A and B are shown apart, each in its own frame.
Chain A
Amino acid sequence: MDIPRNWRLRTQRYALVGEECDHCHSKIFPPRDICPDCGLEAKAHYAFSGKGEIYSFTVVHDPPTGYEDQAPYAIALVKLEEGPIVTAQLTDVDSAQVAIGMPVEMVTRKLRAEGEEGVIHYGYKFRPTLARA
């Protein structure tokens, strides 16, 4: 979890910026050199809406080292409305309320902190779509 490796991903982590393939126009997250759909080069940036739905989920009670202070936490495969699926934590939700198909939206949250004095890493999580009057 060193600083450069998190820093270089800040654009995609903070704001879910991926790519759109110039050739087949599929939306790609995370951004990568070769489009996973057509195998051709991909490089045009594409900002995802952050809207999606839960494809699957579970709750982590036995976390890996470095995540103890967050447990228990829900993780999910979120299917974005543009197509790709991403793995992320769910936030602002009670585990018992999570269901496959639940609409969610991206929020930028603390992923973890390097102790009390170290750097804080931020990135995307998903929450149930905010109910609006």
Chain B
Amino acid sequence: MTEREHRPATPGQGKAAPRPARIMRPTRAVGLVGYGAYVPRLRLPAKEVARVWSEGAALLPIREKSVPGLDEDVITMSIEATRNALARAQIPVEEIGALWVGSESHPYAVKPTSTVVAEAIGAVPHLLAADWEFACKAGSEALQAAIGMVGAGMMRYAVAVGMDTAQARPGDALEYTAGAGGAAFIVGPQEEALAEIEASLSFVTDTPDFWRRPGAKYPQHGQRFTGEPAYFRHVTTAGQELMQALGRTPADYRFIVLHQPNTKFPQRAAELLGFSPEQTRAGLLVPEIGNTYAGAALIGLTAILDEAEAGDRVLLVSFGSGAGSDAFSLQVTPRMAERRAAAPRTRDYITRRKEIDYGVYVRTRGKLSM
């Protein structure tokens, strides 16, 4: 499972030795002091895509996916998720030292999403703000950075958002699943945390499973290459290594949440890691909202936090094409119970739904050329 045997040699040094997993822990303990989700209201049933593109014959990877409204994008959705996180954190906004948004659908190619979000929540001007890009891992990468900054004592709080309004070429397999949504987390000192971050780990390689070139409207993917060498290798390695480094087994965790491009992949990867369907259930949102890309694993975590109890452990493993995984081990604190109701639960957004047909979807997503 650790798959170290294929590492390339460093020039001049012959065959490289296996490298030990690098577990990360900040010098100062940190945790999530706030979390918030957002899912748009519109839903496109997968059978609508099948009706238009395969005479209804396709196997459906999910039931339905969320679709952003005409007036929504990663900026507006990040603002709402961040407001929800703030409502739970109850911190002074001027103490936020960084606000990072990870996405592959930033409204601007050049001009940060993060400054608009920071302005909307009143956190400007003395903070770091930037947008992150690493396919579906951009949000968890931002979370890693937030842990580092807060853990190093450079700031009291940092906000990490993973949010996407994923685009897919009409008729492509990805069109069934490419959804919209995500989550925001506020990292702060452990003593204020609703969930402590015990440790994290990152595992990345150069793997061309999915990409979009500049100027291209829709991404392309390596078809079957997206499975074994990309998703499964990175997700399972990162999850396994983190548990091993912490001396844990799946039995130590009540929940696991993985990046979820479809229903099958996270179920299979969790099984490979030794987790039961019961541990997977709460964080598996993809059948109802689709693959929210940079938001997918993170919004799954918010759904878990909505129902987790003090002492519960959660294993989170993201995946970003290109490719890499971030793994995090979290433990819920007693503070969670008093803050949870300060913002809408993820389930509230999922329950709020208006079904649309493929025609409305095409208009709403700007796929009509006029």
* Closest CB in chain B relative to A62 CB, distance in Å: 18
| Total count of chain A residues near the partner, CB < 8 A | 24
Residue of A nearest to B75 (CB): A122
| Total count of chain B residues near the partner, CB < 8 A | 26
With an 8 A cutoff between CB atoms, is B121 at the interface?
A: yes
With an 8 A cutoff between CB atoms, is A10 at the interface?
A: yes
* Closest CB in chain B relative to A36 CB, distance in Å: 25
Contacts of B345 in A (CB 8 A): 132-133
Measured CB to CB, the residues of A under 8 A from B are: 10-11, 14-15, 17, 47, 69-70, 89, 91-92, 94, 107-111, 120, 122, 125, 130-133
Interface of A: prevailing SS: mixed
Q: How many angstroms between the C-alpha atoms of A14 and B349 in the bound complex?
A: 21
Whether A131 and B348, one on each chain, are in contact in the complex, defined by CB atoms closer than 8 angstroms, is: yes
A131-B79 CB under 8 A given contacts A108-B120, A110-B72 = no
Q: How many angstroms between the C-alpha atoms of A131 and B348 in the bound complex?
A: 7
Interface string of B105-116 (1 = CB under 8 A from A): 001100000001
Contacts of B352 in A (CB 8 A): 92, 130-131
Contacts of A69 in B (CB 8 A): 70
Residue of A nearest to B347 (CB): A133
Question: Can you give 9 contacting A-B residue pairs, CB < 8 Å?
Answer: A14-B119, A92-B41, A107-B76, A110-B75, A120-B73, A120-B75, A130-B344, A131-B351, A132-B345
Q: How many angstroms between the C-alpha atoms of A77 and B349 in the bound complex?
A: 25
With an 8 A cutoff between CB atoms, is B69 at the interface?
A: yes
Residue of B nearest to A11 (CB): B119
Contacts of A111 in B (CB 8 A): 71
With an 8 A cutoff between CB atoms, is B51 at the interface?
A: no
Interface string of B168-207 (1 = CB under 8 A from A): 0000000000000000000000000000000000000000
* Closest CB in chain A relative to B356 CB, distance in Å: 11
